[in-house]
Amino acid sequence: MILYLKCRSHSIGLDLPTTSAEAANRLSALREGLPQDEPFQICDVSGPIANLCPYIQHADLEREADIQKLNALDARIRDMTQEVQHLFSGVLELERTGSLNDAIYTAGCLEQYMVFPKIKTDEELGRLLVDTSPITGKFSFPKEAKPYLDYGKIGAEQRKGLGGVFTPHGLVKRREEEPVQEEAPGTMRLALKTTERSYSLALPASDKQLEQVKRSLGVEDFAQAEITAVKFSSPYLAELLPLDTVSVEDANALALCLKDMEQEDGELMKFCAALEAEQPDTFTKALNIAMNRDDYERVPEDMVEYGKQVLRRAGADGEIIDTIDGYMDFTRLGEDAMEEDGVRGTEFGLVRRLSRPFPSEPEMGQAMT
């Protein structure tokens, strides 16, 4: 996909997938001759999903989390067949919820919807219902009455009952009605299943919503339902979390934490780094890391900067550090302090644990003995 960005009268394109550095370069070029904090907007999207722009127009390309979400959505769309892309476009038209998170969730839950490609008007729906009726109960009319039927009115009334919408690719509707959640979808989605029913639960959810889902599934406790899939708005979490031990209650608690993390730059990446360093073997342990994430800190990879950070932690102010600059080996201090602090390298940057250092990782030779 290509995002089209606009700032005053300037415009520029940005190809997906992208990186924070590439996005920053394109924004810098877009703002050339303007203040570098000049507001911009995503004004259009070029790709197979024509009506995607309203869902992503408020994405913040200066936030790493939003860039990763856009990349994840782009990857999902690329993996879709043309028929599934048509369904996705229709579902976006049906739901009209209008946020990046909603688009990602919807792309992962298309099995809950169906499209009738040959039905594009109320009259066509009315004729189908009268003649073959595969959607609702069969309408029976005498053959002599059919020339006088108002197929358009029949179709319009039934479409409203079905909760469907007409799109360029046909009628799109939900496969089954679900309880309406009071709050907008959050950071996770669980696919729940019993022997007779299924439900896609957006998290975080309120206690009232959870009780509503239990009634929909016909269970008294979520342990009576199987969790068949777990999806995230953030692309890395599925690989870092031990999902084989997840429960609905723990997932909801984690979703609340993730929602808070998304409000602060760097928090989600810090959590991912902590997960990779700790490698929890149960979902509950991963949840504890999320709830105690203030015990972790991402640190700079530059040894000089880390050495200066160590001095700041010891109480040195900027004036002292500037005074000794050139007379002190900040690099060596940073290297020694990193080892003493138990800093771990991860795919998401360097991280340390504040309460107690991570244990030293064995050398390759030591590991083999």
Q: What is the pLDDT of residues 210-245, one digit of tens each?
A: 988 888 888 889 999 999 999 998 878 999 999 999
Q: Does 185 sit behind a cis peptide bond, omega within 30 degrees of 0 on the bond before it?
A: no
Look at residue 313 in the predicted model and tell me its pLDDT: 80
Domain boundary among 243, 260, 291: 291
Look at residue 148 in the predicted model and tell me its pLDDT: 63
Q: Is residue 179 part of a domain?
A: no
My answer on whether 198 and 271 are in the same domain is yes
My answer on whether 141 and 88 are in the same domain is no
pLDDT at 144 over 70: no
Nearest to 6 by CA among 44, 35, 37, 56: 44
My answer on whether 156 and 222 are in the same domain is no
Mean pLDDT score, 196-221: 86
Look at residue 310 in the predicted model and tell me its pLDDT: 75
Alpha helices in 218-266 (DSSP H): 237-240, 248-261
Q: Is residue 175 part of a domain?
A: no
Sheet harboring 188-193: ordered strands across? 198-203, 188-193, 226-232
Domain boundary among 291, 326, 353: 291
Q: What is the pLDDT of residues 252-288, one digit of tens each?
A: 999 999 999 988 888 999 999 999 999 999 999 999 9
My answer on whether 144 and 96 are in the same domain is no
My answer on whether 235 and 311 are in the same domain is no
My answer on whether 150 and 248 are in the same domain is no
Q: What is the pLDDT of residues 27-54, one digit of tens each?
A: 999 888 888 888 888 999 999 998 899 9
My answer on whether 200 and 286 are in the same domain is yes
Average pLDDT of the chain to the nearest whole number: 83
Q: Is residue 183 part of a domain?
A: no
Q: Return the higher-pLDDT residue of 369 and 124.
A: 124
Quick check: 231 and 101 in contact, CB under 8 A?
A: no
CA atoms within 13 A on the CB side of 20: 8
My answer on whether 237 and 325 are in the same domain is no
Percent of the chain with pLDDT over 70: 88
Question: How confident is residue 109, by pLDDT bands cut at 50, 70 and 90?
Answer: confident
Question: How confident is residue 143, by pLDDT bands cut at 50, 70 and 90?
Answer: low
Give the residues across from 41 on adjacent strands: 6
What count of other Cβ atoms lies within 10 Å of the Cβ of residue 329? 12
Q: Which domain holds residue 310?
A: 296-368
Quick check: pTM over 0.75? no
**Domain total in the chain:** 4
